[in-house]
Amino acid sequence: MLVVGQTLGEELERTTTTVATKPKNELVESISSLKATLEAMEAFKEKMRQDNIAAERAQEALNVEMATIETEKVKLVKEKVEAEEREKTLSAEVKRCHSFMLRITEECFQQGLRQTAFYHDVPTVDPRYDLDKDVVDGKLVQIGGNVHTTMEEAKGEENVVNSGPSRSHLSRKYLNLFK
């Protein structure tokens, strides 16, 4: 029995060693796997921390850019309102100028017609022929100046300074239409 006991003891010891070694190896492998997983998690954690820092910086830059854009937007809206007001003012001025130009054109045309009727017998080389004078009620008038009842009265005042606007170039243009 001693042999059987020794054999049984040896077998028990061998089985115990095998059984104890097997979990020990599995534990070592599990520990190594856990250490690798832990290291990977630490690396991931560090990467997430760096990504969070980068995201916060990007958010700050975006906030600054948004503030700049908002300031620019307010400035552009103000400029737009000013431009619209300026456009209204200029539009009114253009209408006023257009009306003025039409009125002046009509006046010059009418002046040309009056001068044509008044000067119909006077040659253009005659010194009495003066397109800087207008005809009012059949009388020759220095524009912005004196009234002349006849061509003879106008003859003596050839060098009168014209105090009003000269429209002689338009008058000549209209007079030439009737020749």
Evaluate whether 171 touches 111 at the Cβ level (below 8 Å): yes
How many angstroms separate the CA atoms of 168 and 179, rounded?
16
Contact at 8 Å (CB) between 126 and 107? no
Residue 71 lies in a domain: yes
The contacts of residue 67 (CB under 8 Å, 6+ apart) are none
What does the pLDDT read at residue 95?
92
Q: Global pTM?
A: 0.40
Number of structural domains (the chain) is 1
Domain assignment present for 146: yes
Is residue 85, in this structure, part of any structural domain at all?
yes
The total of other beta-carbon atoms located within 10 Å of residue 174's CB is 19
Q: Is residue 19 part of a domain?
A: no
Domain, as residue range, for 134: 55-158+165-179
What pLDDT does residue 23 have?
66
* C-beta of residue 123 within 8 angstroms of C-beta of residue 145: no
pLDDT at 12: 62
- Angle, CA of 13, 18 and 20, to the nearest 5°: 90
| Alpha helix positions (H), the chain | 2-118, 151-155, 168-177
The pLDDT score that the predictor gives to residue 131 is 78
pLDDT computed for residue 26 by the predictor: 78
Whether 10 is covered by a domain: the verdict is no
Q: Give a yes or no: residue 176 inside a domain.
A: yes
Average pLDDT along the chain, 179 residues, taken 10 residues at a time: 58 61 74 87 93 95 95 96 95 91 89 85 79 82 57 45 44 49
What was the pLDDT predicted at 128? 75
